[in-house]
A and B are shown apart, each in its own frame.
Chain A
Amino acid sequence: MRPFKYTRANDAGTAVQTATANANAKFLAGGTNIIDLMKEDVERPDELIDVTRLNLTQVKTIDTGANKGGVSIGGLGKNTDAANHPLIRQNYPLLTQAIVAGATEQIRNMATNGGNMNQRTRCTYFYDTAMPCNKREPGTGCGALEGINRNHAIFGWSKDCVATYPGDMAIALAALDAVIKVQGKDGTERSIPFTDYHRLPGDTPQKDNNLEHGELITSIEIPKNNFAGKSYYLKVRDRASYAFALVSVAAALEMNGSKISQVRIAMGGVSHKPWRATEAEKMLVGKDATEANFKAAADAEMKNAKPLEYNKFKVELGRRAIVRGLMMAMNGGKA
């Protein structure tokens, strides 16, 4: 870990202003990822701006604007508090399931909602400074492309980067069409639709997302929806808890009689960003919620997968996970 300056911000404006003034500054919230990365010499900020004192922790019903009736989750609230808030548990159980599927209780007690969006890939080649990695050091190449890439992407990767986004919470938020609210310099605010927030690697894998330097996530908004009774977060992993997803699926359905009127499917562990299974979704709208239809939809999505040497299993696993996720959602999350 390199020496750095520690600054504590007491309001969002000062935090953003301080960060904007220093291209090598980073925000410190829960610290569950940035501190590890600094210890490993992967991140080398020369200033950490502590934003934990900022009053951006509430979970509340949105009473105005486009997402009226939806919920706003404070960017600096803790994951545990978001998962357990009655508004989330009652109206967005998919989000609760996804949050508690991630990490451990202890880590979720520290980790913040905004920070969770920005956690970085767990690709070994990214973490090991002796390895080439375009994400860590642009231009050095991708170690994982022809390396041990079992945990890597099958959708949307480029020859410059095959890393995956590691989180769970964001997969549910992608399915729920959330919006990320950020504050930029001079107090400007903007809203970023969730699926536009994280990026595919392309030739700039060093950019995980579309947050500009200095911008701070103030809240995450989820529009009102009718998925609460029929949603499920399925996470397939190498051990029962405390492991990143091999593949995960956030599935949500809204029925009109026997027909599917709305469906959301997002996948984790398969891409550089939370992957919305739009091909599968398209296939299902207006159809009966049958296993056969779910399978056909899963096939449609997974036929576009491009696996690497060690992660070919993710194509079949993804197919099964979509079907299982949808079946579980239909059954109200019960087996």
Chain B
Amino acid sequence: MIKTNVIGKPIDRKDGRAKVTGAAKYAAEFGVNNVAYAFPIRSTIGNGTITKIDTSAAEKAGGVLTIITPDNAMRLKTLGNPMELMKVGGLLGEDILPLQDSKVNYFGQYIGLVVAETYEQARTAAEMVEVTYAKLTPAIDLKTEIPKAEMPKTSGFGAPAQLNQGKTESIIKSSPVKIEQTYTTRTENHHPMEPHATIAVWDGDDKILLYDATQGVKGVQGVVSYFFNLQPDNVRVMSPYVGGGFGCKGGQWGHILLAAMAAKTVKRPVKLAITRNMMSTNVGRRPETIQTVALASDKNGKLKAMRHANTSYKSFSNYYEESGKQTKVLYAADEREVTYKIAKLNVGAPTFMRAPGETPGTFALESAMDELAVELKIDPIKLRMINHTAIDPETKLPFSLENIVECYTIGAEKFGWANRKSQPRTNREGKYLVGHGMATATYPAIRSTASVKVQIFANGSVKVLSATQDIGTGTYTIMAQTLADALGVPVEKITVEIGDSSLPTAPVSGGSTTAVSVTTAVLVGGEMLKKDLMALALKDSKSKLNGRNESEIEFANARFYVKGDTSKSDEYTDILKRNGKEMMEVCASSVPQNGGGLSGLFAPCSTEQFNSEEDADAKKYSFHSFGAQFAEVMVDEDTGMIRVSRFTSVQDIGRVLNEKTARSQIIGGVIYGLGQTLMEETQYDKRWANPIQRNLGDYHVPCNLDVPKIDVHFIGKPDPHISPIGARGIGEIGITGVAAAVANAVYNATGKRIRDLPLTPDKLL
């Protein structure tokens, strides 16, 4: 473990001032000379074929440059084997390339594009295009499609999909205590504040620059280079600021290809900013789930079997929601079974959405645990403690670091769990029924290969550069903090440049991987540069360190000094100046053993490793984060309205890199969870396949008044194995368990067990 000084401190965001003053430029805000504007034409049926697109009126509308349809669109390279695309880092959100044929697969699919001088002209002309279709009946309703559903053999990433199918039935049958219930969650959309946008700027026929709102500049580079047959180095993707992603900017969607196609067609830069309405159809969703959980225990609550049967849908990709993930990791049980049955629907492809799998999955499992606790008349925390496991039940590997019992204990104390009334309907405050509930949070800790460049200048400034992204999480800030400690320079002297695909490779900002992966590379980079600087000093007769051993030297405040004698020192800037160097730089990588994480395909720029006494071997340890969520609700039984009045979240996420941004991540995760729990839902009309919630007026997310004070605590012990820093990702775990904690609290308040999200007022009447 490294010694930390700046790491962990709640310093303000490096990018905070730029964001609040408007200086931070988001993808659609880059000024590009001679830019034209594109607006998509979208299908108004859910399944069928386009028979005619009449563009005659639209072509005559003011400012129109061209209208691209499947009839005249340039042909892209065909998708072929998705592995080929993954090799260059691409991950298509859906396997439908825009405007390559006349098939309509879902309502809202891109079927054309108007390019015009202004945005308004493009949008107006798009409304004037008349489309006729040969219609087929769309498959929209999950329950209707279940008979046709299949049990997949592998998950989207190739892992076996079904675990121990049929193995729990006899245990459950003979068990003295059991519960079996079905829990349902609804289709949700991500709706980050910033909708997706791309500006495509060609330089000749073989080079392109894209400004894009993405969680992965390397992924966009991969997809564009692949489908336009370009050298990856000739595709540069810029995404310095991202207004939230939550997964829908993790893969690459059709608008990116459309912008590049349009720019090539009109031989001008083209900007394509999608609307809020398109955010509900064209950039992914968390799919609906139907989950049946059976838990069987002995009379003391010791689990004998856990069974989690998941039903959901996929559409035009291999992605489906792995809502059984947490059931493989949580609790000791003699046997566990996790199965999936996946139907196919005519809606845009489902995709990752903050804690994919665990978000709906912990609602089911952690509600079921509460139901079992009620059945056993055991305190819900006690039931979880009885079934605690220190090893991963599926892989039998020890967890790298696991403090879940401490999370329960601290959470119970901070929340005041001891004052909870276990009998429902016994806690009243005026017209409200008050209830308290808890649930376990969990999410995998994944570390990926990442690279950074570190530069030091003769004027004392320091830069760290990487093709990673800050999607609002604090990446800029924790990179600077890590380098401050690794290189011994004040954090204010450090500039961070990210969100540019031409910089050293880093993983997609998804799966809670960026913090652990990129800071480890920064650490290695800092160590490498420091070593280079020191080598120059030690052999320099003009240095006060001349002739000393490396082991005698310490560092702080941008200088080396002899241990115990700070008068014998050498400033970094002096070392550069004496050697006639304006700048020194290193490119560094961190490569986890046997992990590979999300970007094992990316070649690192160096193989040097430092401080590697940690054993980040994914074949020796199971890497997971855990936490405990506690909710207090006040239910107005007359109106059915639920107010979450308090929330406590205790998280074991290894070392905390920045107390302030980490807290914000958990608060954000909990709020996202409150949205899932109380209000978020995208419904589809079976007849036309159209989404009913098309904007933020219809698609409710929590407003300030829905969000109570959220009390966040971290265990804070460094994970000794995941990296030399010991921090695990934190972007996703905060949402897990929230829905169950709230629903369990609603049960505690009212005696009503609601197994169907969201918990809208009608369900409590």
A and B interact physically: yes
Given contacts A124-B698, A241-B704, whether A2 and B678 have CB atoms under 8 Å apart is: no
Give B261-298 as 1s and 0s: 1 = Cβ < 8 Å from A's Cβ atoms: 00000000000000001000000000000000000000
Give, as a whole number of angstroms, the nearest-CB distance from B135 to chain A: 13
By the criterion CB–CB under 8 Å, are B700 and A239 in contact? Answer: yes
A242–B762 contact, CB under 8 A?
no
Q: Once bound together, how far apart are the Cα atoms of A128 and B762, in whole Å? A: 25
A197 within 8 A of B: no
Given contacts A130-B688, A148-B683, A313-B765, contact A2 B124 (CB under 8 A): yes
A1 pairs with B694, CB closer than 8 A: no
Q: Which residues of A contact B596 (CB under 8 A)?
A: none
Q: Is B687 at the interface (CB under 8 A from chain A)? A: yes
Q: Is B166 an interface residue (CB 8 A)?
A: no
A41 in contact with B127 (CB, 8 Å):
yes
> How far is it, in angstroms, between the C-alpha of A243 and the C-alpha of B698 when the chains are bound?
8
CB distance from A306 to the nearest CB of B (A): 17
For B154-173 the 0/1 string (1 means CB < 8 A from A) is 00000000000000000000
A320 closest partner in B (C-beta): B638
Pairwise interchain contact B703-A240, C-beta atoms closer than 8 A? yes
Q: Chain B contacts of A234 at CB under 8 A?
A: 639
Q: Are B705 and A241 in contact (CB under 8 A)?
A: yes
**CB within 8 Å for A124 and B124 given contacts A238-B679, A317-B639:** no
B62 in the interface, Cβ–Cβ < 8 Å?
A: yes
Contact of A122 with B by CB under 8 A = yes
Q: Does A273 contact B (CB under 8 A)?
A: no
Known: A128-B690, A317-B765. A335 touches B639 (CB 8 A): no
Would B124 and A3 count as touching, CB distance under 8 A? yes
Kindly provide the distance from the CB of A72 to the nearest chain B CB, expressed in whole angstroms.
31
- Per the bound structure, the CA–CA distance linking A243 and B697 in Å amounts to 7
* Least CB separation from B760: chain A residue: A238
Complex Cα–Cα for A241 and B641 (A): 12
Q: Decide if A148 touches B685 in the complex (CB within 8 Å).
A: yes
Q: Is the interface of A mostly helix, strand, loop or mixed?
A: loop
Chain B's interface size range is 35 or more
Interface residues of B in 679-695 (CB under 8 A from A): 679, 683, 685, 687-688, 690, 692-695
Q: Is the CB of B694 within 8 A of A124?
A: yes
B430 at the interface (CB under 8 A from A): yes
What residues of chain B lie closer than 8 Å to A335, measured between beta carbons?
A: 430-431
Are A246 and B127 in touch, CB under 8 angstroms? no
Within 8 A of B (CB), among A34-54: 40-41
Asked if A316 and B431 make an inter-chain contact with CB atoms under 8 angstroms apart, the answer reads no
Interface string of A1-38 (1 = CB under 8 A from B): 11100000000000000000000000000000000000
Residue B317 lies at the interface, judged by CB distance under 8 Å to chain A? no
Tell me if A187 counts as interface (CB < 8 A to partner B): no
Residues of B within 8 A of A313 (CB): 761-762, 765
Q: Identify which of A122, A236, A241, A244 contacts B761 (C-beta below 8 A).
A: A236
With a cutoff of 8 Å between Cβ atoms, the chain B residues found around residue A146 in the complex are 687
Q: A147-B685, A148-B692 are in contact. Are A317 and B44 (CB under 8 A)?
A: no
B702 contacts across to A, CB distance below 8 A:
239
Verify if A185 is at the interface (C-beta below 8 Å from B). Answer: no
Residue of B nearest to A40 (CB): B277
A324 contacts B by Cβ under 8 Å: yes
Q: Which residue of A lies closest to B674 (CB)?
A: A239
Q: B640 near A: Cβ within 8 Å?
A: yes
In the assembled complex, how far is the CB of residue B61 from the closest CB belonging to chain A, in whole angstroms? 9
Do B694 and A128 touch (CB < 8 A)? yes
| A323, chain B: closest CB distance, angstroms | 7
Q: Which residue of B lies closest to A247 (CB)?
A: B639
Chain B, range 689-734, C-beta contacts under 8 Å to A: 690, 692-695, 697-698, 700, 702-706
Q: Which residues of B contact A143 (CB under 8 A)?
A: 685, 688
Per the bound structure, the CA–CA distance linking A150 and B762 in Å amounts to 10
A: contact size bracket? 35 or more
Is there contact, CB below 8 Å, between A324 and B638?
yes
- Which of B123, B430, B639, B700 is within 8 Å of A324, CB to CB? B639
User: CA separation between A147 and B127, bound complex, in Å?
Assistant: 24
Which residues of B lie under 8 Å from residue A41 when comparing CB positions? Answer: 127
Question: Which of A122, A148, A236 interacts with B641 by CB under 8 Å?
Answer: A236
Interface centre among B123, B430, B640, B678, by most chain A C-beta atoms within 10 angstroms, is B640
Chain A residues lying within 8 Å of B641, measured Cβ to Cβ, are: 236-237, 240
Q: Which residues of B contact A128 (CB under 8 A)?
A: 690, 694
Q: A236 touching B639 by the CB < 8 A rule? A: yes
B692, B706, B760: most-surrounded residue (chain A CB, <10 A): B692
Known: A2-B124, A241-B703. A320 touches B639 (CB 8 A): yes
Q: How many whole Å from A106's CB to the nearest CB in chain B?
A: 12
**A129 to B130, alpha carbons, bound, how many Å?**
13
Minimal beta-carbon separation of A322 from chain B (angstroms) = 11
Closest beta carbon of chain B to A214's beta carbon, Å? 26
Contacts of B700 in A (CB 8 A): 238-239, 243
**Closest residue to B639 on the A side, CB-wise?**
A236
Partner of A130, one of B44, B431, B704, B706: B44
Question: Whose C-beta in chain A lies nearest to the C-beta of B678?
Answer: A239
Contact of A236 among B431, B640, B687, B706 (CB under 8 A): B640
Q: In this assembly, does B341 line the interface, its C-beta being within 8 Å of a C-beta of chain A? A: no
Does B559 sit at the interface, judged by CB under 8 A? no
Cβ-defined contact, A240 with B692, below 8 A = no
Query: Is the pair B639, A1 in contact by a Cβ cutoff of 8 Å?
Result: no
How far, in Å, is B701 (CB) from chain A's closest CB?
Answer: 8
| A317 and B690 contact, Cβ closer than 8 Å, known pairs A143-B685, A240-B703 | no
Q: Type the 1/0 row for B611-646, where 1 means its CB is closer than 8 Å to any CB of A.
A: 000000000000000000000000000111101000
A217-246 contact mask (Cβ, 8 Å, vs B): 1 or 0:
000000000000000001011111111101
- Chain B nearest Cβ from A324, distance in angstroms: 5
Contacts of A124 in B (CB 8 A): 690, 692-694, 698
Q: Give A238 to B705 CA distance when docked, in angstroms.
A: 12
Q: Contacting A320 at CB < 8 Å: which of B687, B694, B706, B765?
A: B765
A2 x B127 contact (CB < 8 A):
yes
Say yes or no: B124 contacts A1, CB within 8 Å.
yes
Complex-state Cα separation, A130 to B44, whole angstroms: 6
Q: Which of A234, A313, A316 has the most CB of B within 10 A?
A: A313
Residues of chain A with a CB closer than 8 A to B765's CB: 313, 316-317, 320
* Also in contact, A1 and B688, with CB within 8 A (given A240-B706, A324-B638, A324-B639): no
In the complex, which residues of chain A have a beta carbon less than 8 angstroms from the beta carbon of B688?
Answer: 130-131, 143
Q: B738-761: which have CB < 8 Å to A?
A: 760-761
Instruction: Report A118 CB to chain B, min CB distance, Å.
Output: 17
CA distance A252 to B693 in the complex (A): 34
CB contacts (< 8 Å) of B695 on chain A: these are: 127
- Chain A residues with Cβ below 8 Å from B693 are 124
* Contact digits for A240-261, partner B, Cβ 8 Å, 1 yes 0 no: 1111101000000000000000
The answer on a CB contact under 8 Å between B639 and A321 is yes
Assembled-state Cα–Cα distance A239/B761 (Å): 9
Q: Please indicate the chain B residues that have their CB under 8 angstroms from the CB of A320 in the complex.
A: 638-639, 765
CB distance from B283 to the nearest CB of A (A): 18
**Chain A residue nearest in CB terms to B107:** A130
Instruction: Report the minimum CB–CB distance from A140 to chain B (whole Å).
Output: 13
| 13 pairs of residues in contact across A and B, judged by CB atoms under 8 Å | A1-B124, A2-B124, A124-B690, A124-B692, A127-B694, A128-B694, A129-B127, A130-B107, A148-B685, A239-B705, A240-B643, A242-B703, A246-B762
- Which residues of B approach A to under 8 Å, CB–CB? 44, 62, 107, 120, 123-124, 127, 277, 430-431, 638-641, 643, 678-679, 683, 685, 687-688, 690, 692-695, 697-698, 700, 702-706, 760-762, 765
Q: Which 7 A-B pairs have the closest CB atoms?
A: A130-B44, A313-B762, A240-B705, A241-B705, A236-B639, A148-B692, A320-B638
| Extra inter-chain contacts (6) besides given A2-B124, A240-B641, A317-B762, CB under 8 Å | A122-B698, A124-B698, A240-B705, A242-B703, A244-B697, A246-B761
